[in-house]
Chains A and B, each alone.
Chain A
Amino acid sequence: MKKPGSGLIKLFLAGGILIIFSCTPEACFEETNSFLKASFYNNETGKFQAPDSVTLFGEGRDTIMIYNKERNLQPANFPLNAETESCTFVVRINGVSDTISFFYSSYPAFISKECGYTFNHILESHSVTNNIIDNVIIRNRNITTSNEENIRIFY
Protein backbone atom coordinates (compact mmCIF):
# COMPACT_ATOMS: atom_id res chain seq x y z
CA MET A 1 0.00 0.00 0.00
CA LYS A 2 1.30 3.42 -0.92
CA LYS A 3 2.01 5.69 2.05
CA PRO A 4 -0.03 8.89 2.02
CA GLY A 5 3.02 10.78 3.22
CA SER A 6 4.93 10.19 -0.01
CA GLY A 7 2.27 12.06 -1.97
CA LEU A 8 2.37 14.93 0.47
CA ILE A 9 6.16 15.16 0.20
CA LYS A 10 5.75 15.48 -3.57
CA LEU A 11 3.22 18.23 -2.98
CA PHE A 12 5.71 19.91 -0.62
CA LEU A 13 8.33 19.97 -3.35
CA ALA A 14 5.82 21.24 -5.91
CA GLY A 15 5.29 24.27 -3.69
CA GLY A 16 8.86 25.36 -4.34
CA ILE A 17 8.20 25.53 -8.05
CA LEU A 18 5.16 27.72 -7.41
CA ILE A 19 7.29 30.16 -5.37
CA ILE A 20 9.71 30.60 -8.26
CA PHE A 21 6.88 31.49 -10.65
CA SER A 22 5.15 33.79 -8.17
CA CYS A 23 7.98 36.36 -8.05
CA THR A 24 7.61 37.79 -11.55
CA PRO A 25 8.02 41.59 -11.61
CA GLU A 26 5.26 43.63 -13.25
CA ALA A 27 5.29 46.83 -15.31
CA CYS A 28 3.33 50.05 -14.82
CA PHE A 29 0.30 50.23 -17.12
CA GLU A 30 -1.79 52.71 -15.16
CA GLU A 31 -2.24 56.46 -15.59
CA THR A 32 0.44 58.22 -13.55
CA ASN A 33 -0.89 61.80 -13.79
CA SER A 34 -4.00 63.33 -12.33
CA PHE A 35 -5.41 65.59 -15.04
CA LEU A 36 -8.18 68.11 -14.69
CA LYS A 37 -10.65 66.77 -17.24
CA ALA A 38 -12.71 69.31 -19.14
CA SER A 39 -15.63 68.54 -21.44
CA PHE A 40 -16.75 70.99 -24.14
CA TYR A 41 -20.37 72.05 -24.51
CA ASN A 42 -22.07 74.21 -27.12
CA ASN A 43 -23.42 77.23 -25.26
CA GLU A 44 -26.35 77.75 -27.65
CA THR A 45 -27.68 74.20 -27.64
CA GLY A 46 -26.29 73.17 -24.25
CA LYS A 47 -25.18 69.92 -25.85
CA PHE A 48 -21.95 68.01 -25.45
CA GLN A 49 -19.96 69.05 -28.54
CA ALA A 50 -16.26 68.98 -29.35
CA PRO A 51 -14.89 72.14 -31.04
CA ASP A 52 -13.50 71.94 -34.57
CA SER A 53 -10.05 72.80 -33.26
CA VAL A 54 -8.47 73.06 -29.82
CA THR A 55 -5.00 74.31 -28.94
CA LEU A 56 -3.86 74.25 -25.32
CA PHE A 57 -0.64 75.26 -23.59
CA GLY A 58 0.49 76.62 -20.25
CA GLU A 59 0.85 80.39 -19.97
CA GLY A 60 4.46 81.26 -20.74
CA ARG A 61 5.09 77.83 -22.25
CA ASP A 62 3.79 78.37 -25.76
CA THR A 63 6.65 76.39 -27.25
CA ILE A 64 5.39 73.22 -25.58
CA MET A 65 1.88 72.45 -26.68
CA ILE A 66 -0.43 70.16 -24.76
CA TYR A 67 -2.78 70.04 -27.76
CA ASN A 68 -2.10 71.63 -31.12
CA LYS A 69 -5.16 72.25 -33.32
CA GLU A 70 -6.63 69.00 -32.06
CA ARG A 71 -9.86 67.94 -33.76
CA ASN A 72 -12.75 66.23 -31.95
CA LEU A 73 -11.03 66.58 -28.61
CA GLN A 74 -13.30 65.42 -25.82
CA PRO A 75 -12.39 65.73 -22.98
CA ALA A 76 -9.30 67.94 -22.71
CA ASN A 77 -6.81 66.99 -20.01
CA PHE A 78 -5.27 69.95 -18.15
CA PRO A 79 -2.05 69.00 -16.29
CA LEU A 80 -1.74 70.93 -13.02
CA ASN A 81 1.55 71.91 -11.42
CA ALA A 82 1.90 70.23 -7.99
CA GLU A 83 4.59 72.72 -6.94
CA THR A 84 2.27 75.71 -7.19
CA GLU A 85 -1.26 76.47 -6.04
CA SER A 86 -2.46 77.85 -9.36
CA CYS A 87 -1.99 77.28 -13.07
CA THR A 88 -2.95 79.38 -16.06
CA PHE A 89 -3.57 77.93 -19.50
CA VAL A 90 -4.18 79.44 -22.89
CA VAL A 91 -7.08 77.70 -24.65
CA ARG A 92 -7.56 78.41 -28.33
CA ILE A 93 -10.96 77.17 -29.51
CA ASN A 94 -11.65 77.42 -33.25
CA GLY A 95 -8.83 79.98 -33.56
CA VAL A 96 -10.01 82.28 -30.71
CA SER A 97 -7.92 82.39 -27.53
CA ASP A 98 -8.98 82.54 -23.89
CA THR A 99 -7.08 82.02 -20.66
CA ILE A 100 -8.25 79.84 -17.78
CA SER A 101 -6.68 79.90 -14.34
CA PHE A 102 -7.20 77.16 -11.79
CA PHE A 103 -6.63 77.50 -8.04
CA TYR A 104 -6.16 74.24 -6.15
CA SER A 105 -4.34 72.30 -3.46
CA SER A 106 -2.26 69.16 -4.10
CA TYR A 107 -1.57 66.03 -2.09
CA PRO A 108 0.37 62.81 -2.79
CA ALA A 109 -1.53 59.67 -3.76
CA PHE A 110 -0.37 56.11 -4.25
CA ILE A 111 -1.12 54.56 -7.64
CA SER A 112 0.39 51.08 -7.39
CA LYS A 113 3.62 49.34 -6.49
CA GLU A 114 4.60 49.28 -10.15
CA CYS A 115 3.76 52.94 -10.89
CA GLY A 116 4.55 54.66 -7.58
CA TYR A 117 2.97 57.95 -6.55
CA THR A 118 1.28 60.88 -8.17
CA PHE A 119 -0.29 64.13 -6.96
CA ASN A 120 -4.04 64.49 -6.73
CA HIS A 121 -5.61 67.94 -6.47
CA ILE A 122 -8.65 69.62 -5.01
CA LEU A 123 -9.97 72.35 -7.26
CA GLU A 124 -10.88 75.40 -5.22
CA SER A 125 -11.78 78.04 -7.81
CA HIS A 126 -11.13 79.23 -11.34
CA SER A 127 -11.20 82.34 -13.50
CA VAL A 128 -11.65 82.63 -17.25
CA THR A 129 -11.62 85.27 -19.99
CA ASN A 130 -14.67 85.37 -22.24
CA ASN A 131 -13.55 85.74 -25.85
CA ILE A 132 -15.05 82.45 -27.02
CA ILE A 133 -15.67 80.74 -23.71
CA ASP A 134 -18.98 81.78 -22.17
CA ASN A 135 -18.81 79.92 -18.93
CA VAL A 136 -16.94 77.24 -16.99
CA ILE A 137 -18.73 75.17 -14.36
CA ILE A 138 -17.15 72.81 -11.85
CA ARG A 139 -18.63 69.31 -11.80
CA ASN A 140 -16.16 67.51 -9.51
CA ARG A 141 -13.51 69.21 -7.41
CA ASN A 142 -11.50 66.01 -6.79
CA ILE A 143 -8.87 65.69 -9.50
CA THR A 144 -7.52 62.15 -9.59
CA THR A 145 -6.32 59.59 -12.12
CA SER A 146 -9.88 58.35 -12.63
CA ASN A 147 -11.82 59.30 -15.77
CA GLU A 148 -14.28 61.63 -14.09
CA GLU A 149 -15.26 64.95 -15.62
CA ASN A 150 -14.08 67.88 -13.48
CA ILE A 151 -15.31 70.92 -15.39
CA ARG A 152 -17.56 71.82 -18.32
CA ILE A 153 -16.46 74.52 -20.76
CA PHE A 154 -19.35 76.23 -22.58
CA TYR A 155 -18.24 78.00 -25.78
Chain B
Amino acid sequence: MLLIIPAVSLRAQDSILIPLKLNAGIDLSGPVIYMTDKNNLNAEGFFSADRNEKISYVVEGGYSRFRYSQYNYDYLAKGIFIRAGADFNMLEPQTSKGKYRAGIGVRYGTSIYSMETPSFSNENYWGSVTSSIPQSTRLGHFLEVVPGVKTELFKNISIGWSVRLRLLISAGTGRELRPVHMPGFGNGGKSATAGFSYFLVWQVPYKSKMVIIKKEEPEEYDETDEENFEP
Protein backbone atom coordinates (compact mmCIF):
# COMPACT_ATOMS: atom_id res chain seq x y z
CA MET B 1 0.00 0.00 0.00
CA LEU B 2 1.26 3.34 -0.98
CA LEU B 3 1.11 6.10 1.53
CA ILE B 4 2.12 9.41 0.01
CA ILE B 5 2.07 12.34 2.34
CA PRO B 6 0.26 15.22 0.67
CA ALA B 7 3.20 17.56 0.82
CA VAL B 8 1.41 20.53 -0.73
CA SER B 9 -1.00 20.91 2.14
CA LEU B 10 1.79 20.71 4.67
CA ARG B 11 4.05 23.31 3.06
CA ALA B 12 5.07 25.93 5.52
CA GLN B 13 4.48 29.50 4.41
CA ASP B 14 6.42 32.64 5.29
CA SER B 15 6.04 36.23 4.26
CA ILE B 16 8.14 39.29 3.57
CA LEU B 17 7.24 42.95 3.56
CA ILE B 18 8.09 44.53 0.21
CA PRO B 19 7.97 48.33 -0.14
CA LEU B 20 6.20 49.49 -3.30
CA LYS B 21 7.72 52.70 -4.63
CA LEU B 22 7.24 55.62 -6.95
CA ASN B 23 10.42 56.09 -8.96
CA ALA B 24 11.84 59.07 -10.83
CA GLY B 25 15.02 58.61 -12.79
CA ILE B 26 17.34 60.36 -15.18
CA ASP B 27 19.51 58.79 -17.84
CA LEU B 28 23.19 59.50 -17.26
CA SER B 29 24.51 58.10 -20.53
CA GLY B 30 23.10 60.95 -22.66
CA PRO B 31 24.98 63.78 -20.89
CA VAL B 32 28.17 61.68 -20.75
CA ILE B 33 28.05 61.00 -24.49
CA TYR B 34 27.30 64.71 -25.11
CA MET B 35 30.50 65.65 -23.26
CA THR B 36 32.50 63.65 -25.79
CA ASP B 37 30.33 64.36 -28.84
CA LYS B 38 28.64 67.78 -28.92
CA ASN B 39 26.67 66.76 -32.03
CA ASN B 40 24.64 64.20 -30.14
CA LEU B 41 22.48 65.43 -27.28
CA ASN B 42 20.05 63.05 -25.63
CA ALA B 43 18.33 64.03 -22.38
CA GLU B 44 15.75 61.71 -20.94
CA GLY B 45 14.12 60.60 -17.72
CA PHE B 46 11.34 58.41 -16.47
CA PHE B 47 8.63 57.97 -13.89
CA SER B 48 7.49 54.58 -12.74
CA ALA B 49 5.17 53.15 -10.15
CA ASP B 50 5.38 49.67 -8.66
CA ARG B 51 2.10 47.85 -9.11
CA ASN B 52 3.34 44.97 -6.99
CA GLU B 53 6.63 43.23 -6.18
CA LYS B 54 6.99 42.07 -9.81
CA ILE B 55 5.49 44.70 -12.10
CA SER B 56 6.12 48.43 -12.50
CA TYR B 57 4.41 50.79 -14.91
CA VAL B 58 6.82 53.12 -16.69
CA VAL B 59 6.58 56.36 -18.66
CA GLU B 60 9.77 57.75 -20.21
CA GLY B 61 10.31 60.96 -22.09
CA GLY B 62 13.12 62.99 -23.50
CA TYR B 63 14.58 65.38 -26.01
CA SER B 64 17.18 64.57 -28.62
CA ARG B 65 19.22 66.71 -30.97
CA PHE B 66 21.45 64.99 -33.48
CA ARG B 67 23.88 66.37 -36.04
CA TYR B 68 25.82 64.16 -38.36
CA SER B 69 28.24 64.98 -41.11
CA GLN B 70 30.37 62.87 -43.38
CA TYR B 71 32.09 63.30 -46.73
CA ASN B 72 28.90 63.11 -48.81
CA TYR B 73 26.10 64.51 -46.61
CA ASP B 74 25.05 66.52 -43.55
CA TYR B 75 22.05 65.64 -41.44
CA LEU B 76 20.13 67.33 -38.61
CA ALA B 77 17.33 65.95 -36.46
CA LYS B 78 15.71 67.12 -33.26
CA GLY B 79 12.57 66.23 -31.40
CA ILE B 80 10.89 64.73 -28.40
CA PHE B 81 9.94 61.17 -27.65
CA ILE B 82 7.71 59.34 -25.19
CA ARG B 83 7.81 55.67 -24.27
CA ALA B 84 5.31 53.83 -22.10
CA GLY B 85 5.23 50.27 -20.86
CA ALA B 86 6.05 48.01 -17.96
CA ASP B 87 9.03 46.44 -16.22
CA PHE B 88 8.95 42.89 -14.90
CA ASN B 89 11.24 41.94 -12.03
CA MET B 90 12.38 38.34 -12.31
CA LEU B 91 14.02 38.20 -8.91
CA GLU B 92 12.15 36.39 -6.15
CA PRO B 93 10.79 38.76 -3.47
CA GLN B 94 13.12 37.37 -0.81
CA THR B 95 16.05 38.23 -3.11
CA SER B 96 14.85 41.56 -4.45
CA LYS B 97 13.54 42.84 -1.09
CA GLY B 98 12.21 45.84 -2.97
CA LYS B 99 15.81 47.03 -3.51
CA TYR B 100 17.08 45.02 -6.44
CA ARG B 101 15.76 44.35 -9.85
CA ALA B 102 16.89 42.10 -12.67
CA GLY B 103 14.34 41.64 -15.35
CA ILE B 104 12.89 42.77 -18.60
CA GLY B 105 10.65 45.58 -19.74
CA VAL B 106 8.57 46.34 -22.79
CA ARG B 107 7.82 49.78 -24.21
CA TYR B 108 5.86 51.40 -26.98
CA GLY B 109 7.52 54.58 -28.16
CA THR B 110 6.56 57.52 -30.30
CA SER B 111 8.78 60.30 -31.59
CA ILE B 112 7.82 63.72 -32.92
CA TYR B 113 10.81 65.16 -34.70
CA SER B 114 12.07 67.37 -37.47
CA MET B 115 14.74 66.25 -39.89
CA GLU B 116 16.73 68.02 -42.54
CA THR B 117 19.55 67.22 -44.93
CA PRO B 118 21.20 70.59 -45.65
CA SER B 119 23.38 69.06 -48.33
CA PHE B 120 24.26 65.77 -49.92
CA SER B 121 26.19 64.78 -52.98
CA ASN B 122 26.07 61.77 -55.23
CA GLU B 123 28.62 60.93 -57.89
CA ASN B 124 28.23 58.79 -60.99
CA TYR B 125 29.27 58.65 -64.66
CA TRP B 126 27.83 62.10 -65.36
CA GLY B 127 29.64 63.79 -62.49
CA SER B 128 28.77 64.87 -58.98
CA VAL B 129 25.29 66.21 -58.14
CA THR B 130 24.75 68.21 -54.95
CA SER B 131 21.29 68.75 -53.52
CA SER B 132 19.44 69.13 -50.21
CA ILE B 133 16.28 67.93 -48.49
CA PRO B 134 14.34 70.67 -46.67
CA GLN B 135 13.25 70.41 -43.05
CA SER B 136 10.11 68.44 -42.39
CA THR B 137 8.28 67.23 -39.27
CA ARG B 138 7.62 63.52 -38.82
CA LEU B 139 5.89 61.19 -36.39
CA GLY B 140 7.58 57.84 -35.76
CA HIS B 141 6.61 54.74 -33.79
CA PHE B 142 8.68 51.91 -32.34
CA LEU B 143 8.74 49.08 -29.80
CA GLU B 144 11.39 48.30 -27.21
CA VAL B 145 12.43 45.29 -25.19
CA VAL B 146 14.45 46.45 -22.20
CA PRO B 147 16.42 43.90 -20.19
CA GLY B 148 18.23 45.50 -17.28
CA VAL B 149 19.28 45.57 -13.67
CA LYS B 150 18.87 48.02 -10.81
CA THR B 151 20.35 48.09 -7.36
CA GLU B 152 19.92 50.30 -4.32
CA LEU B 153 22.96 52.50 -3.77
CA PHE B 154 21.72 54.38 -0.72
CA LYS B 155 18.36 54.42 0.98
CA ASN B 156 15.82 55.32 -1.73
CA ILE B 157 18.55 56.04 -4.30
CA SER B 158 19.24 53.40 -6.94
CA ILE B 159 21.39 52.99 -10.01
CA GLY B 160 20.91 50.69 -12.92
CA TRP B 161 21.40 50.05 -16.58
CA SER B 162 19.37 48.57 -19.32
CA VAL B 163 19.94 47.42 -22.85
CA ARG B 164 17.38 48.76 -25.28
CA LEU B 165 16.46 46.54 -28.18
CA ARG B 166 14.31 48.59 -30.52
CA LEU B 167 12.10 47.58 -33.39
CA LEU B 168 10.94 50.25 -35.82
CA ILE B 169 7.25 50.27 -36.65
CA SER B 170 7.31 53.44 -38.74
CA ALA B 171 9.66 56.38 -39.09
CA GLY B 172 6.85 58.44 -40.60
CA THR B 173 8.94 59.13 -43.69
CA GLY B 174 8.16 56.38 -46.18
CA ARG B 175 10.80 54.01 -47.48
CA GLU B 176 12.82 56.48 -49.53
CA LEU B 177 13.76 59.05 -46.88
CA ARG B 178 14.21 57.09 -43.69
CA PRO B 179 15.89 59.19 -40.99
CA VAL B 180 19.58 58.87 -40.24
CA HIS B 181 18.52 59.41 -36.63
CA MET B 182 15.06 59.33 -35.09
CA PRO B 183 14.90 60.76 -31.54
CA GLY B 184 14.25 58.02 -29.00
CA PHE B 185 15.00 55.29 -31.52
CA GLY B 186 18.37 55.94 -33.15
CA ASN B 187 19.36 54.97 -36.67
CA GLY B 188 16.12 54.96 -38.66
CA GLY B 189 17.86 53.37 -41.63
CA LYS B 190 17.71 50.08 -39.74
CA SER B 191 14.56 48.29 -38.69
CA ALA B 192 16.17 47.18 -35.41
CA THR B 193 18.66 49.05 -33.26
CA ALA B 194 20.18 48.66 -29.83
CA GLY B 195 20.88 51.26 -27.20
CA PHE B 196 21.92 51.65 -23.64
CA SER B 197 20.69 53.57 -20.62
CA TYR B 198 22.42 54.23 -17.34
CA PHE B 199 20.08 55.71 -14.84
CA LEU B 200 20.03 57.25 -11.41
CA VAL B 201 16.74 56.76 -9.61
CA TRP B 202 15.11 58.53 -6.70
CA GLN B 203 12.53 56.33 -5.00
CA VAL B 204 9.64 57.15 -2.69
CA PRO B 205 7.93 54.25 -0.92
CA TYR B 206 4.19 54.75 -0.98
CA LYS B 207 2.92 51.44 0.29
CA SER B 208 4.13 48.13 1.68
CA LYS B 209 2.93 44.78 0.51
CA MET B 210 3.07 41.53 2.42
CA VAL B 211 4.28 38.90 -0.02
CA ILE B 212 3.95 35.23 0.85
CA ILE B 213 7.08 33.31 0.03
CA LYS B 214 7.56 29.57 -0.03
CA LYS B 215 10.11 27.97 2.18
CA GLU B 216 12.31 25.28 0.71
CA GLU B 217 10.23 22.16 0.46
CA PRO B 218 11.24 18.92 2.15
CA GLU B 219 11.48 16.03 -0.27
CA GLU B 220 8.34 13.99 -0.68
CA TYR B 221 8.26 10.95 1.56
CA ASP B 222 7.17 7.73 -0.09
CA GLU B 223 6.61 4.65 2.06
CA THR B 224 7.56 2.39 -0.82
CA ASP B 225 11.06 3.83 -0.66
CA GLU B 226 11.32 2.58 2.91
CA GLU B 227 10.03 -0.85 1.97
CA ASN B 228 12.67 -1.16 -0.73
CA PHE B 229 15.42 0.07 1.50
CA GLU B 230 18.02 -2.58 2.26
CA PRO B 231 20.64 -1.66 4.84
Contacts and interface: CB of A to CB of B under 8 A. Distances in A.
A39 interface: no
B129 A83 contact: yes
Contacts of B133: 108, 117
A83 B124 contact: no
B159 A12 contact: yes
Most interface-central of A12, A16, A83, A120 (chain B CB within 10 A): A12
Interface in B122-161: 122, 124-127, 129, 131, 133, 149-152, 159-161
A15 B161 contact: yes
A83 B121 CA distance: 12
Interface size class of B (residues with CB under 8 A): 35 or more
Contacts of A117: 72-73, 117, 120, 122, 133
Contacts of A120: 176
A15 B147 CA distance: 12
Contact of B124 (A5, A33, A112, A116): A33
B88 interface: no
A80 B127 CA distance: 10
B189 interface: yes
A81 B122 CA distance: 10
Interface in A116-142: 116-120
A118 B178 CA distance: 13
B9 interface: no
Interface stretch (B49-57, B95-103, B106-114): B95-103
B126 A12 contact: no
Given A22-B196, A119-B129, A110 B100 contact: no
Interface residues of A, number: 35
Contact of A5 (B100, B129, B161, B198): B100
Given A108-B177, A113-B68, A116-B120, A5 B99 contact: yes
Contacts of A12: 149, 151, 159-161, 198
A10 B165 CA distance: 21
A66 interface: yes
Contacts of B99: 5
B17 interface: no
B151 A81 contact: no
A116 B176 contact: no
Nearest to A14: B161
B180 interface: yes
B211 interface: no
B70 interface: yes
B126 A79 contact: yes
Contact of B95 (A4, A64, A87, A110): A4
Contacts of A19: 29, 196
A116 B196 contact: no
B189 A113 contact: yes
Interface string B56-97: 000000000000101011000000000000000001000110
B187 interface: yes
A8 B102 contact: yes
Contacts of B129: 81-83, 119
B151 A58 contact: no
Interface of A: 4-5, 8-9, 11-12, 15-16, 18-19, 22, 32-33, 58, 61, 64, 66, 79-83, 87, 107-113, 116-120
Identify the 8 closest CB pairs spanning chains A and B, nearest first: A8-B151, A15-B161, A81-B126, A79-B125, A116-B73, A117-B120, A109-B176, A116-B72
